[in-house]
Amino acid sequence: MTMVFPRVDDCISLFLNPGCAREEIPRDTRSYYLTAGWFRHNSSLNEAFEDWVERFGPERAASLRRAMFRGYERVSLIDTQAYEVNDFVELSNGYAADLDLEHMIVPGSVQLLERLFRREWNSEIVVVPPGEAIGFSHLFTADTCSSKG
């Protein structure tokens, strides 16, 4: 069976991708990224925070949480246009406030997923024939946003 997958590092790269090579994705290392899915499903991170409150009390849990996010400057809600972003602004802004971080909404896309499911495969969709081993050549490409017209 042929294996087909987007050429991304993780779901953040998948949702921030405006249609260019992975190396060109506008990703800010000081942002903690969220999407609607983060709020709709139980997050292991939220479960950990709840556990900390039970184990250490609310003040210590809040302190641990802030320490964990010390390297971040902002919480960024990704607007992929696949959901109503305004439905999640209050939640993501509250999360940012809890962590004493800035809040922003950043543009995103589900373009790679759409291309994957429509079978419109380009250099950012990896297609591996049956029996072929996946190697570095499958994961990295020299194409960039500027070279894709």
Domain coordinates of the chain in residue numbers?
A: 3-148
Residue 112 vs residue 25, higher pLDDT: 112
Q: Is the pTM above the cut of 0.95?
A: no
For 52-99, write each residue's pLDDT tens digit: 999 999 999 988 888 899 999 999 999 999 999 999 999 999 989 988
Say which range, 3-7, 25-29, 32-36, 75-79, has the weakest mean pLDDT: 25-29
What integer best gives the mean pLDDT of the chain? 86
Q: What is the mean pLDDT of residues 28-51?
A: 85
- Report, as an integer, the average pLDDT of 133-137: 84
Q: Where residue 147 falls among pLDDT bands split at 50, 70, 90?
A: very low
DSSP string, the chain: --EEEES-SSHHHHHH--SS-GGG----TTEEEE-HHHHHS--HHHHHHHHHHHHH-HHHHHHHHHHHTTT--EEEEEE-SSS-THHHHHHHHHHHHHTT-EEEEEE---HHHHHHHHT---TTEEEE-TTPPP-HHHH--S--GGGG-
Is the pLDDT at 11 greater than 90? The verdict is: no
